[in-house]
């Protein structure tokens, strides 16, 4: 499929989606969202791809939010569909068995931060700014922002960010646990690729199990969460990577995961 607004790239086990609309700070309209969804599905179903990176074109913005010009005149039913489409796209990333990394190269606002929060890791440049500014344009986040932000940083900080709409610098976002890591802008993609390649060398089953155990466990009570963890732990022993990983350790060699 030919894409107009995203660039899709595959280098060995790493697939990259670059939102390519820098003149609009990579703002997401329905067409861009549908390309991201389709591009993600392409990488997600490619057995060679182990880790998926999402970034924005240019040095100014990762994604400056959903496209305000598209939302300006829609009615509540269209707004419902707009939210549902965005939520489903982000949920597919979150539910993927692959590890997804947001490489945040500038503004991650509104839908941009919401997309980043659906990723497993958020690695940002020191120039990045993140926030949920929707309140300033008379609405609230609609792509999971109120929910994922509260889960990631707690209600206190989530309310501060969503109620004020202020954008905070990357250093502050890292300090409250919203970002995984902050690096100088000119080293961002090297840092992201280093992390991506180190993940790609690990066992794909245990990575997916770890991701889902954390995500699923956070949504249920502790007893149920422990059960989820137990089941994923036990399932790892059904995979050859467990024997290989433990044997390699005892034989003092590097494991060769499947
Ligand atoms: N939707 C639509 N267009 C957007 C956009 C968005 N979310 N964010 C930026 N753009 C467009 C601007 O309209 C402008 O287009 P133009 O050149 O045709 O006028 C272009 O991108 C550049 O943005 P500009 O505002 O001129 O850049 P800036 O450096 O002065 O400010 C921001 C950068 C990120 C602070 C500012 O663009 C902004 O506040 N964007 C909206 C953020 C937001 O509210 N997102 C949540 C939406 S729900």
Helix and strand element counts for the chain (H, E): 10, 10
pLDDT digits (tens, 9 = 90+) for 78-124: 999 999 999 999 999 999 999 999 999 999 999 999 999 999 999 99
CATH placement of domain 6-200: 3.90.226.10
Across 2-41, b (16+ Cβ under 10 Å) vs e yields ebebbebeeeebbbbbbbbbeebbbbbbeebbebbbebbe
pLDDT category of residue 139 using cuts at 50, 70 and 90: very high
Q: State in Å: Cα 69 to ligand 1 middle.
A: 10
What is the distance between the alpha carbons of residues 108 and 130, in angstroms, rounded to a whole number? 5
For a substitution probing ligand 1, which of 29, 31, 65 has the most ligand atoms within 8 Å of its CB? 65
186 has a pLDDT exceeding 80: yes
What is the atom index within ligand 1 of the atom nearest the CA of 134? 48
Q: Which CATH number fits domain 204-250: 3.30.450, 1.10.12, 1.10.10, 1.20.120?
A: 1.10.12
All structural domains of the chain with their residue ranges: 6-200, 204-250
**What pLDDT does residue 83 have?**
97
Residue 134 bears catalytic tag: yes
Q: State in Å: Cα 92 to ligand 1 middle.
A: 26
* DSSP β-bridge partners for residue 129: 169
pLDDT digits (tens, 9 = 90+) for 1-16: 789 999 999 999 999 9
């Amino acid at each position: 499929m030919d894409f107009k607004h995203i660039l899709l790239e595959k280098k060995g086990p790493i697939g990259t989606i670059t939102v390519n609309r820098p003149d609009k700070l990579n703002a997401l309209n329905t067409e861009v969202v549908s390309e991201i969804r389709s591009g993600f599905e392409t990488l997600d179903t490619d057995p060679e791809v182990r880790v998926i990176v999402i970034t924005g074109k240019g040095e100014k913005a990762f994604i400056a939010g959903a496209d305000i010009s598209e939302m300006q005149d829609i009615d509540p039913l269209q707004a419902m569909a707009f939210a549902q489409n965005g939520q489903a796209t982000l949920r597919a990333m979150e539910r993927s068995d692959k590890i997804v990394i947001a490489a945040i190269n500038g503004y991650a606002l509104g839908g941009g931060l919401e997309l980043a929060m659906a990723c497993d890791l958020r690695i940002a440049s020191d120039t990045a700014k993140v926030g949920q500014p929707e309140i300033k344009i008379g609405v609230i986040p609609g792509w999971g922002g109120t929910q994922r932000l509260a889960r990631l940083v707690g209600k206190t900080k989530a309310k501060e960010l969503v109620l004020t709409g202020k954008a905070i610098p990357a250093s502050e976002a890292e300090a409250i646990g919203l970002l995984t890591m902050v690096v100088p802008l000119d080293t961002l993609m090297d840092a992201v690729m280093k992390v991506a390649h180190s993940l790609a060398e690990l066992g794909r089953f245990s990575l997916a199990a770890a991701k889902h155990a954390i995500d699923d466990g956070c949504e249920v009570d502790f007893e149920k969460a422990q059960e989820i963890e137990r089941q994923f732990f036990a399932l790892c022993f059904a995979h050859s990577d467990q024997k290989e990983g433990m044997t390699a350790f005892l034989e003092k060699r590097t494991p060769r995961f499947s």
